[in-house]
Amino acid sequence: MDPAAKHNSPPARAGFIALLTTMSCGAINDNLLRGGLLLSVAAGGMWGGELGEGGTGWITVMLYLPFILLLGVTGQLADRRSKRSIIVWTRIAEVFLAAGVTAGLWMQSMWVTSGFFILLAAQSAFFSPAKYGSVPDLVAVERLAWANGLLSLLTNIAIILGMAVAGYLLGIGPVILGLTMIGVAVIGLLSSLAIPKIPPADPELQLSFRTFTAHTRVLSRIRGTPLMNTTLAWCWFYAVGSLVITIIPQFRGLLELTDTAAGAMLAAPGLGIGIGGLVAGFVSRDGIRAGLVPIGALGMTVSFVLLAVVPSTWLRVIILLAVLGVFAGFYVVPILAMLQHMPVPSFRARTVGTANFMTYLAMGGSALAFAVLAPVIGNEPQMWFWICAGGMLLVFISSVRQRSIMGEGAAMGAFSSIEGDG
């Protein structure tokens, strides 16, 4: 069968819709709990002060640590086993983990709830390479950027819902947040069953449980290629983005916000990314537009400067965070498409796994820096937005200097051009 016909067949289209639904449910649950914990440990929350001034940083570290430790193995596993099977089994696990979260919230125990938060992040580390690696199995190559634009839109709508609704549900009662997570997890499990069977890309692959060695092997293979530049651009962007999510809850006490208002503020960047991702996907419907990357980086830099200098009110911060997100969508859609575009199918999940590993290492590092430095230099949002502006300015300069390399990686001739080492 012609490959384009295969990807455009009704089962493939239905499978992509099922994948989008499953991913959205996972994103909603991740951000319901993440948003709930961030608001709860910030000043004025039910566990405010228990983790100190850098408490939101420690919550973020809890989220990223399992990815750092596990992605080297889970990326290999997604290449060796059926990605569809991995997706289904992680959805089953999420139902039980959501029940554990509910128990922790019922006991009003930060440590029990945080423990299940870490376990939820661990199952997401198995889910991530399989879900991203399966996109090229369900859409045609020329539609990858479009698919990732749609993926970005729906994922960020899910993030918006999770972050925004977390504050509202906390206001009703913490247990309600947990029960909502159970319901969302069940929907995600049911939708995952509609994803068509995806055969293993490399069933003979020998798994290495030396996590960092596995990442080193992937990085060694992509060194000197546009894929390495793309990976570095991907992880540096998220290191700065991680700081944003860590900073925003500080406005809760500063502006004397309710849980609902603070949750809406957390959701604003996701709204912007959804809009920016949709626009980027639309203009990229016939190919990958690497030129969007420096535009996005420059727009984010300016947005951070405005957040640092404009007097803070709830509405002003919401608007600027949404604008920031729009430019982030411009940046991230072509980057993700290129990560999926260049590796051969049997090397794709490992590449995504290593890219995500580097991303979580960078995000964990920035969150840890906030957790350690906030008690020393303060957690005022404006000061940290200046730091974010400096980081994104470096990204912009780098993206301009490497525009020809990124364009080479985005070209149609680069599809499935980089092989693994078996």
Write down the pLDDT at residue 307.
Answer: 95
Kindly provide the b/e burial profile for residues 380-412, where b requires at least 16 CB atoms within 10 angstroms of the residue's own CB: ebeebbebbbebbbebbebbeebeeebbbbbbe
Write down the pLDDT at residue 302.
Answer: 96
Q: Are 330 and 152 in contact (CB under 8 A)?
A: no
pLDDT tens by residue, 383-408: 999 999 998 999 899 888 888 877 77
Measured between alpha carbons, how far is 114 from 50 in angstroms, rounded to an integer? 13
The model's confidence at residue 90, banded by pLDDT at 50, 70 and 90, is: very high
Q: Are 225 and 130 in contact (CB under 8 A)?
A: no
Q: 0.75 exceeded by the pTM? A: no
Write down the pLDDT at residue 10.
Answer: 43
Q: Kindly report the CA angle at 398 between 393 and 399, in degrees rounded to 5?
A: 95
Class of domain 3-198+207-414: mainly alpha
Structure-block tokens of residue 146: 């479009």
Write down the pLDDT at residue 380.
Answer: 87
DSSP element (H, E) containing 307: helix 292-309
Measured between alpha carbons, how far is 58 from 114 in angstroms, rounded to an integer? 10
Measured between alpha carbons, how far is 161 from 138 in angstroms, rounded to an integer? 26
| 324 or 250, higher pLDDT | 324
- Chain-centroid distance of CA 123 in Å reads 14
Average pLDDT of span 154-164? 76
Write down the pLDDT at residue 3.
Answer: 44
Residue given tokens 């509405």 in the structure block: 315
Comparing CA positions, the residue from 390, 376, 254, 274 lying closest to residue 324 is 274
Over pLDDT 90: what percentage of the chain?
Answer: 24
| 175 or 283, higher pLDDT | 175
Over pLDDT 70: what percentage of the chain?
Answer: 88
| 384 or 361, higher pLDDT | 384
Measured between alpha carbons, how far is 79 from 75 in angstroms, rounded to an integer? 7
Average pLDDT of span 144-168? 74
Measured between alpha carbons, how far is 101 from 117 in angstroms, rounded to an integer? 7
In this predicted structure, the answer to whether residue 8 has a pLDDT above a threshold of 60 is: no
In this predicted structure, the answer to whether residue 115 has a pLDDT above a threshold of 70 is: yes
Write down the pLDDT at residue 386.
Answer: 94
Q: What is the mean pLDDT of the chain?
A: 82
- Segments making up each domain of the chain, as ranges: 3-198+207-414
Structure-block tokens of residue 363: 């995000």
pLDDT tens by residue, 22-45: 989 998 998 899 888 888 887 666
The model's confidence at residue 13, banded by pLDDT at 50, 70 and 90, is: low
Write down the pLDDT at residue 1.
Answer: 42
Contacts of 50 (CB under 8 A, 6+ apart): 41, 110
Write down the pLDDT at residue 325.
Answer: 92
The model's confidence at residue 211, banded by pLDDT at 50, 70 and 90, is: low
| 293 or 356, higher pLDDT | 293
Write down the pLDDT at residue 303.
Answer: 96
